[in-house]
Amino acid sequence: MIQIQNVTKKYGPTIAVDNISLEIPAGETCCLIGPSGCGKSTVVKLINRMLEPASGRIYIDGKDSRDFKPELLRRHIGYVIQNVGLFPHMTVAENIAVVPWLLSWKQEKIEERTEELFRMMRMESEHYRDKYPRELSGGEAQRIGVARALASDPAILLMDEPFGAVDPLNREGLQAEFMKIQNDLKKTVVFVTHDLDEAIRLGDRIALMREGKIVQYDTPEEILAHPKNRFVSDFVGADRALKRLSRFPVSEFMKKSVAVRISDDVDAFLAKTRKEGKPRFVWLLDEHERLIGPVDSRHVHTPFNREEDVMEADCPAITVRDSATLREVLSRMLGQGVKTIPVIDDDSRLVGEISILEIEKVTEEAALEC
Amino acid sequence: MLKSPIKTFLRRSAGTILLAGVFVYLILDMNPWKFFLRALFPEETEWIYPRAMLIDLVGEHLLLVAISSALAVIAGIAAGIFVTRRSGRVYLQTVNDLTSLAQTFPPVAILALTVPFIGFGFKPTIAALFLYSILPVVRNTISGIGAVPAPLIEAAFGMGMTRPQILFKVEIPLAMKVIMAGIRMSVVMNIGTATLGAIVGAGGLGVPIISGLVRQNQAFVLEGALTVCLLAVITDRLISGIEEGYF
Amino acid sequence: MHRVRIDRVTLAGAVIGFLSFGLHFVVLRPNRLSSGEGLFVWNALPAPEALLLALLWLCALGTGFSYRENHPFRLAPGLIGNVILVLVFLLTARMAGNTADPELPFLRISIGFGGWIMAFASYILILSSQQKLTDRGFLRLCVSLSGLAALALLLASGYLSDISVIKEFSARQGRFLSELSQHLILAGSAVCIATVIGTGLGVWAFRSRLLERPVFFFVNTVQTLPSLALFGLMIAPLALLSQRYPVLRDFGIQGIGWAPALIALFLYALLPITRNTYTSLRILDPDVIEAGRGMGMRGLQVLWRVEIPLSLPIILSGIRTALVQSIGNTTIAALIGAGGLGVFVFQGLGQAVPDLILLGAVPVIILSVFTDKLMAILIHHITPKGIGVRQEPAS
């Protein structure tokens, strides 16, 4: 856990960080966000003593950070920056091994740990370990940067706009991976970002800063539901209700769907459904349970004709992945003019469906203040 | 990991190694010289510089260059590192200005000017050679280390490297290519300037050239000139090979 | 309120300046040949003058210890440095003028090692001011040049004529001037020819991928050759040629002389010019040329209004290097009978007359530095605003 107590940092007459106090419980992700110049990067650098405070103290796991030599402290804190900072003259494996080397780990232990990290990042070790940073794409480099920060298995991870320089498509993937890893490892993470959506998605708590002070420090739901003042509500934007939806993963709210495999007796199934009256739409799956498309049980040919009776579900706009949030679901619904969206997994298999009713239920239960 | 730089080095330097082989042969065996020079200058009476063996002259020359360059490289890199550290940064601009000014001085002038102050002979020449060949090493060390991007240094700090560790594990390896280029420039220039050392009594391959000019004996001139040219080209290629094979 | 801090550079200069007091300020020689006896500042100069120097250095030291960020303090080291620089020469000349010994009619007095170190230290003070005056161009120029301008004036009006090297010069003024012009003509012509051919080679190498390798292989190799050796190598072929075609001798082309020197100098000057021409074409953004064509410029207009303004600074930079190098190499050409200021250098070395060496070496240095700075100013003015000419990569 990290305790920041009454810390101030000045650059000459300018106050970068103004008497802030912050407590980040162990295992939580705290996102620091705010307009540029608000001091968020400075806070991070104060934690690992790249900068020294003018006043105040920082306690890490109960111990004053000043009790340690700066180098030693930093070797036990993972640090990821926006420009990655991978050493161009070292291979990927050598880059990852830097902090363990600084900590005088034995070579076998370093090898083991490197393999473990490759697995964690879902990157093939043989393919990547001897490559040089210039041979990696932006997203790959970033993942190696994170792996490098985790190499010594630090309890704390400091990330300063780590995904800022990555294109939006890759960024999404990186964020999802980060959440998975964080779920497993439960590190104490301080994550600086200027992207509110990213903060809402990744943060257990968000600290919104302005001109060196913390304006509000709360869970994302709280900040969205109850912004403390005009600045906060302006910052989160008028669409905060929509933003809130991105806190709700679709996998928690979807319901079971009625589906039939094409290899089964489709006609009989459709007949039964017609007799029961509902549901009207039924999902057609292939032999491997992959979604083909919806079938209107009231308007089918007998015998069932695949060509004419199914709206093929190739278009991704009509489906949503199980890793998505309710926000994407709503977006699809509005975009396609439909009220129900099927949920598929990585292999395109149908795992459930979600309708506008579920979303309404969620929003009713947590009404926002005006 | 160590094999590939050596392999590339060998492959690229094949021509140079061949040349070096020829060179070594020519220093040891004077017969090809006699044959070649006699054919070119039939009217001369002597073709090989009599007062010293070619191999001794080469040895003198190499000694001049080796000592002064070794000192220059050590001092130059040290100075370059010093002015890029926190404590030495105040002097960076001054050192840059001084070295760029000094590099416009012709090396022959520097050599000639040290004589009235330090005297004739081997040691004063080494001093003059040292003074001049230190310049490209310092400049390239400064520019090489200066080219290391700041985010890299920041990341290194953030990972918990101490300043000396950053210098040796990050800054120097990344600056090595540029520093090597500076060393190459310095050594090759040194070989050229050391040729003039003959005029101030330092010996070396300039001796037969000067003697030939004075006595109007082209054969002597060619003996010295060809040898020192070969030496310069081979050294240049060898160090280039190290430069490229390095990465 | 400005903070007081320590100005390390000025301090370094002041320390060196003080150390120079421990070395010989002037050297007395009974005649131009024999080795001399050195005198320290307090022995060589009358008390008031020696004290003046000491006082000036103390001021410099003081400025170094209590530096403030305002104009007087920024100018101070430079001012003190310029004054000291002029004084070193002036006081030596005065001392030489006042020291007349009937027993030593050929007495020669020159600046000693200590005097030169003091001059060097004063230059560090000047540099120190230069660095701080980044925003005030005019003041900066004053600081850089006032000392040198004063020295030039003193030299021209004869105030420095008692320093031995000047005496040496007066004794052979005619010869000096003729060798000086020979030096300039040789170096200048070599660079001119190299410019014409070098730019052509550079363009050719750029256009034809096939030619690129051999061209650069050739010019790079030539650069590594020791100049004395290349001069020497040029003699034999030219000697043979002039033997076979005696008509060449009428033009002055023979084994030794200006001809082999010119060819060798030309070959050396090729690399910087060829390489820079090639580079300037390489870095020309093809989009910029596209834009020019798109706006309706004809080929020649594109050349004149776009390509040349963009590549000229870099090519000129190559010419600058070639010029400075050539001035230095021409000095060596004296050894193969081509004349030039090297004549004095080598005569001095051969006869062990230090003043002769100085008479040759110092003007060569002044020429080199002057040409370099002049070209730098030219390039600065020719560079279109908004573009920086990168320093030539050192390799």
Could you read off the pLDDT of C131-181 as tens digits, one per residue? 888 777 788 888 888 888 998 888 888 888 878 888 888 888 888 999 999
Mean pLDDT of C205-222: 86
A119 phi, psi to nearest 5 deg: -65, -45
Question: Could you tell me the residue ranges of all domains in chain B?
Answer: 3-246
Residue in A with minimal Cα distance to B174? A89
Does residue C195 contact residue C274 with C-beta atoms inside 8 Å? Answer: no
Interface of B with C in 46-85 (CB under 8 A): none
Q: Which residues pair with A284 in a beta bridge?
A: A260, A293
The whole-model pTM stands at 0.82
Model pLDDT for residues A170-191, shown as the tens digit of each residue: 888 888 888 888 988 899 999 9
Q: Nearest C-alpha of chain A: how many angstroms from B162? A: 6
C327 touches chain B (CB under 8 A): yes
> Which pLDDT value is given to residue B188?
94
User: C379 and C392 in contact (C-beta within 8 Å)?
Assistant: no
Choices 1.20.140, 1.10.760, 1.10.3210, 1.10.10: CATH for C8-163: 1.20.140
C to A contact (≥3 Cβ pairs closer than 8 Å): no
Please report all neighbours of A, defined by 3+ CB atom pairs within 8 A: B
- E-strand ranges in A73-180 read 77-81, 156-160
Q: Residue C301 — very low, low, confident or very high, per pLDDT cuts 50/70/90?
A: low
Distance from the B17 Cα atom to the nearest Cα atom in chain C, whole angstroms: 16
Q: Is residue B164 within 8 angstroms of chain A, CB to CB? A: no
Contacts of B170 in chain A (CB under 8 A): 87, 89
Is the pLDDT at C52 greater than 60? The verdict is yes
CATH superfamily of B3-246: MetI-like (1.10.3720.10)
Phi, psi of A312 (to 5 degrees): -55, 140
Q: Which of B90, B91, B104 sits opposite C369 (nearest CB)?
A: B104
Domains of chain A by start residue, with CATH? 2-238 (3.40.50.300), 251-365 (3.10.580.10)
* Residue A368 to residue C213: CA distance in whole angstroms: 72
CA distance C99 to chain B (A): 22
The answer, yes or no, to whether residue A157 has pLDDT greater than 90, is: yes
Q: With beta carbons less than 8 A apart as the criterion, state whether B151 and B110 touch.
A: no
Minimum Cα–Cα distance from A79: chain B residue: B158
Which member of B97, B195, B222 has the closest CB to residue C127? B97
The predicted structure's pLDDT at residue C364: 94
Does the CB of C124 have a partner CB in chain B at under 8 Å?
Answer: yes
Q: How far is CA A6 from the centre of its chain?
A: 30
Measured between beta carbons, which residues in chain A are less than 8 angstroms from residue B157?
50, 74
B-chain residue closest to A154, CA distance? B159
Query: Measured between CB atoms, does B189 come within 8 Å of chain A?
Result: no
Summarised one tens digit per residue, pLDDT across range C61-108 is 988 888 877 777 788 898 999 999 999 999 888 888 888 777 777 788
Gap between the Cα atoms of B154 and C70, Å rounded: 33
User: The sheet that has A340-344: what strands, in order across it?
Assistant: A320-321, A340-344, A350-355
Q: What is the reported pLDDT for C137?
A: 76
Which of A87, A99, A158 is nearest residue B152 as measured by Cβ atoms?
A87
Hey, is the C-beta of C226 within 8 angstroms of any chain B C-beta? yes
Amino acid letter, residue A9: K
Question: Which residues are A365's β-sheet partners?
Answer: none
B168 touches chain A (CB under 8 A): no
Beta bridge mates, A340 = A355
- 145-164 in chain C: CB under 8 A from chain B: none
Secondary structure class of C162 (helix, strand, coil): coil
Kindly write down the DSSP assignment for every residue of B181-239, as one continuous string.
HHHHHHHHHHHHHHHHGGGGT--STHHHHHHHHHHT-HHHHHHHHHHHHHHHHHHHHHH
Q: Is B200 on the interface with C (CB under 8 A)?
A: yes
Q: Which of B151, B155, B160 sits opposite A71 (nearest CB)?
A: B160
Please indicate whether, in this complex, the C-beta atoms of B160 and A85 are within 8 angstroms of each other.
no
Top-confidence residue, A23 or C210:
A23
Question: Could you tell me if B147 lies within 8 Å of chain A, comparing CB atoms?
Answer: no
pLDDT at res. C251: 73
Pick among B85, B113, B235 to test the C interface (most C CBs inside 10 A): B113
> Chains near C, with 3+ CB pairs < 8 A?
B
Say whether C349 and B236 touch across the interface (CB within 8 A): no
Strand, coil or helix: what is B46? coil
Homologous superfamily of the C173-382 domain (CATH): MetI-like (1.10.3720.10)
pLDDT: is C273 or A289 the higher one? Answer: C273
pLDDT, residue C395, reads 32
Taking CB atoms and an 8 Å cutoff, what residues of chain B touch C78?
none
Range from C165-179, C266-280, C312-326 carrying the lowest mean pLDDT: C165-179
Contacting residues of B for C275, CB less than 8 Å apart: none
Residue C392 has pLDDT above 50, yes or no: no
**A54-63 pLDDT, tens per residue?**
899 999 988 8
Q: What is the pLDDT of residue B247?
A: 44
Give the CA dihedral C228, C233, C236, C237, nearest 10 degrees: -130
- Give the minimum alpha-carbon distance from B59 to chain A in angstroms, rounded to a whole number: 38
Which of the pair, A84 or C325, is modelled with greater confidence?
C325
Chains C and B touch (3+ CB pairs under 8 A): yes
Considering chain C, what percentage of its residues have pLDDT values greater than 90?
A: 35
Contacts with B40 from chain C: Cβ below 8 Å = 236
ω into A303 cis (within 30 of 0): yes
C368–chain B Cβ distance below 8 A for any pair: yes
Beta-carbon separation of A102 and B170 below 8 A: no
How is residue B70 written in tokens?
Answer: 């070794």
Closest alpha carbon within chain B to C221: B233
- DSSP code per residue over C165-182: HHHHHHHTHHHHHHHHHH
Q: Write down the pLDDT at residue A195.
A: 87
| Mean pLDDT, residues A14-40 | 90
Specify the range with the lowest mean pLDDT, choosing from A46-55, A81-90, C111-120, C291-300.
C291-300
Distance CA C35, CA C33 (A): 7
Contacts of B144 in chain A (CB under 8 A): none
* Domain map (residue ranges) of chain C: 8-163, 173-382
For residues C284, C287, C293, C297, the Cα torsion angle rounded to the nearest 10 degrees is: -50
Q: Which residue bears the tokens 């005009």? A: A230
Query: Which residue has better confidence, A277 or A55?
Result: A55
CA distance C220 to chain B (A): 10
Residues 6+ apart with CB under 8 A from A365: none
Per-residue confidence (pLDDT) for residue A156, from 0 to 100: 92
What value does the mean pLDDT take over residues A213-235?
Answer: 88
Closest chain C residue to B88, measured at CA: C8
What gap in Å lies between CA B163 and CA A45, rounded to an integer? 17
Which stretches of chain B drop beneath a pLDDT of 50? Answer: 1, 247
Contacts of B121 (CB under 8 A, 6+ apart): B200, B201, B202
Residues near A194 by Cβ (< 8 Å), separated by ≥ 6?
A: A33, A34, A35, A36, A161, A164
